Amino acid sequence: MIKGTRHLTVPRDEHYSIGPVEKKIQDLDLSIKAVMADSGVPRKYWDIVGEHCNLVLQMTSPARHDKDMTIFEATYDRIPNLQLLPRVGCFCVRIESRRNQQNQKLDPRNNPGVFLGFATLKNTYGTVIATQKSLVVARDNCAYDEEIMPYHHNPNTPMIVCTISTGY
């Protein structure tokens, strides 16, 4: 048991008997769907977005033992700062230090990609970035631009460019 968590086995077709748990699962499901629709992130990354949404829900949901504090606050003994969380699907750059680069003259200094959320990947927790080739977990040194949303334009559909005639 972790921090007072009690696991219950529910008989088949009696899930309605555990209403608060079902409500939390529903909240998480709706959060994932909303964030995926807003960000345009491909569906194959739903698990990473789901872990990020769980973090947001912990930062905003009241704790069961004390309604005046959040779950995050009860667990980590500090008030969460939602302003530090970037928007899922925004442009992200992992800034690498020069000593980590193998070829310091020709290697790119930054690793650009799309921010998928704060999650665990390959037993490492941090910022998960979708680059052109793979997923990267960055623990620090990331910069975000929330105005640029790379997945909002689907690369498989042609971009329609309209010109507006002003009549001159």
pLDDT tens digits for range 101-128: 566 565 556 788 999 999 988 888 888 9
The DSSP 8-state label assigned to residue 68 in this structure reads T
Cα distances (Å, whole numbers) of residue 92 to 43, 45, 77, 111: 19, 16, 29, 8
The confidence score (pLDDT) of residue 60 equals: 92
pLDDT at 159 over 50: no
The confidence score (pLDDT) of residue 162 equals: 34
The confidence score (pLDDT) of residue 158 equals: 41
pLDDT at 79 over 80: yes
CA 93 to chain centroid: 15
Please tell me the distance from the alpha carbon of residue 146 to that of residue 92, in angstroms, as a whole number. Answer: 8
pLDDT at 151 over 50: yes
Task: Convert the pLDDT of each residue in 30-76 to its tens digit.
Answer: 999 999 999 999 999 999 999 999 999 999 999 888 889 999 999 89
Please tell me the distance from the alpha carbon of residue 62 to that of residue 10, in angstroms, as a whole number. Answer: 25
More confident residue, 94 or 164: 94
More confident residue, 7 or 79: 79
The answer to whether 120 and 51 are in contact (CB under 8 A) is yes
Please tell me the distance from the alpha carbon of residue 150 to that of residue 131, in angstroms, as a whole number. Answer: 11
Cα distances (Å, whole numbers) of residue 15 to 9, 25, 80: 10, 12, 32
pTM metric for this prediction: 0.74
